[in-house]
Amino acid sequence: MISANEYASRREKVFEKMAEGSALVVFSGLAKKSSADETYPFEVNRNFYYLTGIQQEDSALLLVKVPGDREAFLFISDFDPVKEKWYGRKLTPLEARASSGVNNVLVGASNALEAKLKGILDADDAQFGKVHTLYLDLEEEQKVNAEGGSIDDFSRAMSIAYDVQIRDCYPLIVRLRMVKSEAEIAELREAIRITKLGILGVMAKARVGVKEYELADEFLRIVNDNSAYQGLAFPTIMASGAHGACLHYPTPLDEVKLGDLILMDLGARNGLYCADVTRTIPSSGTYSDFQRTVYEIVLGCNQAVASFARPGVTLGELNDHTIEYLASECYTKGLINRKEDIVNYYFHHVSHSIGLDTHDPIYSEVDPEPGKRYAGRDKDYYNIPLVAGMVISDEPGLYMADRGIGIRVEDDLLITSNGCERLTEAIFESPADIEAFYANGRK
């Protein structure tokens, strides 16, 4: 569990990056409409959560930095006894203060924030002196108030009303998120432990005739049973046979057939930290000679990537290493006629960052220009050197739809001072261990 002291420490690091005479606002967001009378399940803005530990919608964090003073204000929803009868209770100011470590907690998120900002940004009030810069998390499609206003609407209104320069704080916060603390790594370890239980449950249930969605449902059930209903890091990919050659196979409706491999890409989450694991198992309990050949190439590549991952190496270099390994092995084993043909069977990157998002963002030291937002994934994403404390995936694969096969083996790696630790080591992946599981009665 992340402590209030750690959230306070993170906010101090943000203060260090802010300009003098500036304010920063990050919203928790609101649930988005999905149909006439329903919304999608609420997911908190991860940057807001990273700085507060609060998952409640219709909340906001305000930081103010001026010469000689740094102040943090947390805004939460009004208490509404009628709504609570329908939708459950909200945090009290005392609870919000204890979780976040923010002493100044104000109730009435939208109205209270608007009033506080006026007092800070309006030249006639200027409670903290001249504030010339307003940092906002400009991640696209954020809904920031009950009337449906977006972060773009809010940004435009602030710049017009108070003549402040708008800066995107998304990369500023993301740079802090790149390196995980011991407490964050502990959250990830627990998510991986729960993921292992789910994978063992899927393996025990996997057999010829079962539906793909039955296996996905079994994973969800076990994860929720062991995580206090924290749910999945991402929608489970459960693909049998040739479906395993589709990277994000979306319709797990098929029946597992004799001789199929089952590719499962899945993960639990704990405290919103995400596990991301892929295993590929035989429906019959044993791999055919061809399946074993392909599997051992992929597993060997997985191990080669883990051996190569260390501080200073980039994700792009890891992928180059992967392509060379797969191409050489597939050519040697007679699976391709030319090394260049590997692009037909491996066509994604081998690694991404992992954390509060399954594909956690990485950002370089170059900020967007004033008034400009972070443009999706940083163009330097694959060229940023790894540093100790980052957690990344290691997921080579080979996909041969014409042979009815898709194999991926994915682990989660913690970058250390001189290499990496495979956090998912306890989730067995060798053909011998997997076949032994079935030979021993699925135990």
Q: What is the mean pLDDT of residues 384-410?
A: 97
Closest-CA residue to 146 (of 28, 36, 23, 54): 28
Task: Give the list of residues 6+ apart from residue 378 with CB closer than 8 angstroms, or none.
Answer: 171, 361, 362, 363, 364, 384
pLDDT for 148: 74
Average pLDDT, the chain: 94
pLDDT digits (tens, 9 = 90+) for 109-127: 778 999 999 999 998 888 8
| Nearest alpha-carbon partner for 351 in 382, 330, 387, 377 | 382
Say which residue the tokens 């443009």 belong to: 375
Q: What is the pLDDT of residues 290-341, one digit of tens each?
A: 999 999 999 999 999 999 999 999 999 999 999 999 999 999 999 999 999 9
Distance CA 329, CA 371 (A): 49
Exposed/middle/buried for 89, CB within 10 Å: 0-12, 13-18, 19+?
exposed
User: What is the per-residue burial (b if ≥16 Cβ within 10 Å, else e) of 391-429?
Assistant: bbbbbbbbbbeeebbbbbbbbbbbbeeeebebbbeebbb
- Nearest partner of 372 among 136, 131, 176, 154, judged by Cα: 136
Domains 4-176 and 179-439 share a fold: no
Domain ranges within the chain, ordered by starting residue: 4-176, 179-439
The answer, yes or no, to whether residue 87 has pLDDT greater than 90, is no
CA separation for the pair 308, 304 (Å, rounded): 6
CA distance 60 to 155: 14
Question: What is the strand order of the sheet 420-422 is part of?
Answer: 391-394, 411-415, 420-422
Least confident of 13-27, 82-96, 340-354, 416-430: 82-96
How far apart, in whole angstroms, are the C-alpha atoms of residue 311 and residue 418?
7
What is the residue type of 373?
Answer: R
DSSP 64-92: EEETTEEEEEEEEPPP-HHHHHHH-----
How confident is the model at residue 401, as a pLDDT?
96
- Domain 4-176 in CATH: superfamily? Creatinase/prolidase N-terminal domain (3.40.350.10)
Q: Are 301 and 322 in contact (CB under 8 A)?
A: yes
CATH of 179-439, picked from 3.40.50.300, 3.30.70.100, 3.90.230.10, 3.40.50.620, is 3.90.230.10
The string of DSSP codes covering 322-333 is HHHHHHHHHHHT
CA end-to-end span of the chain, whole Å?
31
- Tell me which of 336 and 160 has the higher pLDDT: 336
CA 387, CA 185: separation in Å to the nearest integer?
15
